[in-house]
Structure formats: structure tokens, C-alpha cells
Copies of this chain bind each other. A is one copy, B any other.
Amino acid sequence: MIYLDFNRTTPLAPSVLEAMQPYWATHFMLPGQEHSQAQAVGESLEQARESVAAMVGCDPFEIVFTSGGTEANNLAICGQLNAAPASRSQAIRSALGSGDTVSGDRTGTGRIHVLVSELEHDSVLAAAFSLSGDQVDVELVPCQENGVVDPAQVESMLRPNTRLVCLQLANPVLGTLQRVREVADVCHNRGVSVHCDATQAFGKLPVDVSQLRADTVAVSGHKFYGPKGSGAVYVRRGLHLSPICHGEPREMGLRPGAENIPACIGLGAAAHLASRCESEVSDNFGELSDRFLNGLESSLGESPILLASGTPRIANTMAIEMPCDAGAIQKAARHLVFATAQSAQPPDEITRSLKAIGRTETQIRRTIRVSLGWTTSRDQIDRAVSLLADACDSVMTR
């Protein structure tokens, strides 16, 4: 089987698994106890935090571990907008007798306004819209036909009460890179925060929050060869969030519960790997993508239509319009794993992204999303091309 669906999930890298192994049954204690073994676990946890911080270019105390990208997006968005009123934070503190809870209080009591790009992940859209109602207005920002949200468009939609703009770094379907820094500069001039879901960018290109200038950034381990159930959110120093889950304060007061030590260690190891191989990975993706597109052109006898091709993109991701139905191709090419739109109504992520750049339903049904990984080889590319071409042949000559 040839797996070309790395944007959905990746296998764990061998070195990441190796890094995690001691923490299952040997170093299984939790930090925060006096014993030397527990303290050693705590030190390993902080080293993992440093590795993640190094990958995103921030200080370790700006990294909060979560159970994944979805929780990271929810914590960044709901934690900022749904800040607990002072009375509630006080109630929790009294109940636990603790003074440690970090909790922002919503400033002002008027309605607030939130902008979310229409290209965002389900968890970003759903987190934002979960708050919409009496206190919060949520509005979608359209993207251009090239798959990029125009910063001028964001600026034109800002209102005096806008509090937050959510803009991803790389689109998982089209691969387009968003102009997050320009949007952040526009927003910061108006006192607006920016949340950036960067989950599709890590392991594919260097990410540096001091360049991005977003206030919060989401990380998901299983998108770059780290463990499922691992993630983090970068929270700019000085930005106050409220936890979305409650308990004994851990993770700078933003996430309670026993630390998932193996997952945090694994995320740190994956971050270390990603930091080391960024430039070579990106070059390799570029070469393999060209090989894939050229091979497809030769085999099909016509140019495949690569969507959003004129735009800066993560080099591993190709949304390609095929000459026939993508679902039928997938059925015919059983040993090849790639992504297609699964559901038009309700629209899935692929359908939403393709609709956003103006593709018709027929075009969407013909589109495949191919995403390469670190382990993708030239041989796999060649075989994938051949499987795809054969599948197209068999579908079109039926």
C-alpha cells in the first residue's frame, strides 16, 4: 500500500517511539512529587517543552501541552473569549482553597466580534461558533480564488469591538500559506488578537512565532510524526487565557489533569526531528511533487489541474482535479491512499476548502488531495502515478 494522506495523520517516527518507551512502565511517576524519580520525570517533561518551544521559536513557559490540535484550538479561542467572570474564578479558588488558578476576566461587558477565515479547520470554526450568541458575534472571512485570505479583506472587516481573528498558517487541502504576519500586524495595530492554527505547517516548513506574530498558535503531534493525543498551544507571554477544563492547576494554570508524560515526551521528540530536517524536507517535497505531476501528465496524456498552483504552498500538498470522478478512482486504486471529498452536505473539510476557492460541485467530485510524507520515496511516487493512471483508465473506459 502506498500512503499519500500524510496531511490527515502520520505514523509515529521510530525515534519518537523510542523516546517515549521508558515513560510507560519504568519512569511512570508523575512530576510534582518529592521523589527523585518523579523529579526526573518532571525534568524530562520540561526538556520536551523546550524542544517544542525551540520548534516554534518561543520561550518554554509559552508552551501549554494539550491532548491534541483540536484541544489547542479550543483552548486558544474559547480560553480567550469565554474568560470566566471574576466571580467564578473566585468560586473555583475557594472550593479548592487554591490561589493558583490563572484566569482572565473578560474586559468590558459589551458584545465582542470575532473573525474566522472560511478555510479554517472544523475545530476552529466550531470553537468560535460555540461562543456565538448574546455576547459574541462570529463572522467568516472569505478567501480569494487563489486560496489565500487577503489581509486587506480582514482589515476591512474589523470592527471597533473585534477581539480575535483566526487564520491558519497552511491549508490542509490546498496547501496554501496564509499571510498570517501581515494579518497580525493589521490586527495588532487595532488591538485585536490573532490565533493561528499552524497544525499543517510543522514538519513541512520552519515556523517561528516571532515571525508569524500570532498571539496563540496550535500544534498537533500526529500531523508531524508525533503521537496521537499530543498537542500544544503557544500562548504569547502576557496574554491571559482561561482554562476550558477545570481541576488542579497544571500547565501554567491552563490545563488540569495528570500530565500525559509519554505524549509530551513524544511531542518533544517530534519537534526536535522537525526542527532538524525542515530545509531538506521542504526541498525533497518539492522534487517529489514535481515528479508526481510530471508523471501524471505523461501517463494521462494531459496536464493535471493543480489547484492554487500560483500561490506559496507547503510543498507536500497537491489538490488535483482529475479527468473523472475521484471516488471512482479511489475505488479502482485500492492500494493507494489519498483523500477525496467524502460528503457534500454537510460539507467536509475538503469540500469546504474547494468551495471557498470557487470550485463547482462537479469539479469537487473530481478532485483528489495528495499529501506526501517524510518517508515518501521516488519509487512510491512512480508507483502511485501508475496506479492513478490505471485507475483513471479503468473508470473512463467503463
Contact = CB atoms under 8 A, between A and B. Distances in A.
Interface of A: 1, 3, 5, 8-14, 17, 24-26, 28-30, 33-37, 67-71, 73-74, 78, 84-85, 87-88, 91-92, 94-100, 121-123, 125-133, 138, 140, 220, 222, 227-229, 244-248, 256-263, 330, 334, 337, 342, 345-347, 349, 352
Contacts of A13: 25
Contacts of A84: 130
Task: Kindly name the residue among A14, A91, A94 whose own CB sees the greatest number of chain B CB atoms within 10 A.
Answer: A91
Given A8-B29, A12-B25, A228-B258, 7 more contacts: A74-B245, A85-B133, A94-B129, A99-B346, A123-B246, A127-B247, A229-B229
Contacts of A259: 228
B247 A123 contact: yes
A132 to B, nearest CB: 5
27 contacts: A3-B29, A5-B29, A8-B33, A9-B30, A9-B258, A29-B337, A36-B334, A69-B257, A78-B246, A87-B133, A91-B130, A91-B138, A92-B130, A94-B129, A95-B125, A95-B126, A96-B126, A96-B346, A97-B345, A121-B247, A122-B247, A127-B245, A129-B246, A228-B262, A229-B262, A244-B245, A248-B349
Nearest to A125: B95
Given A12-B28, A24-B227, A91-B132, A68 B123 contact: no
A253 to B, nearest CB: 11
Nearest to A25: B11
Contacts of A346: 96-100
A68 B100 contact: no
A127 B246 contact: yes
Nearest to A250: B70
B228 A132 contact: no
Nearest to A131: B88
A222 B262 CA distance: 12
A133 B91 contact: yes
A88 B132 contact: yes
B138 A125 contact: no
Given A84-B130, A129-B92, A345-B97, A260 B68 contact: yes
A36 B334 CA distance: 9
Nearest to A37: B1
A140 B91 CA distance: 12
Among A13, A14, A26, A34, find the residue whose CB has the most chain B CB atoms closer than 10 A: A34
Contacts of A220: 258
Contacts of A12: 24-25, 28
Contacts of A91: 129-130, 132-133, 138
A74 B246 contact: yes
Contact of A247 (B85, B99, B126, B334): B126
Contact of A257 (B17, B67, B140): B67
Contact of A35 (B9, B29, B337, B342): B337
**A12, A29, A229: residue with the most chain B Cβ atoms closer than 10 Å:** A229
Contacts of A14: 25
A125 B25 CA distance: 30
Given A71-B257, A262-B227, A347-B97, A17 B24 contact: yes
Nearest to A14: B25
A5 B352 CA distance: 50
Contacts of A35: 1, 334, 337
Contacts of A131: 88
A146 to B, nearest CB: 23
A87 B133 CA distance: 7
Contact of A244 (B36, B244, B260): B244
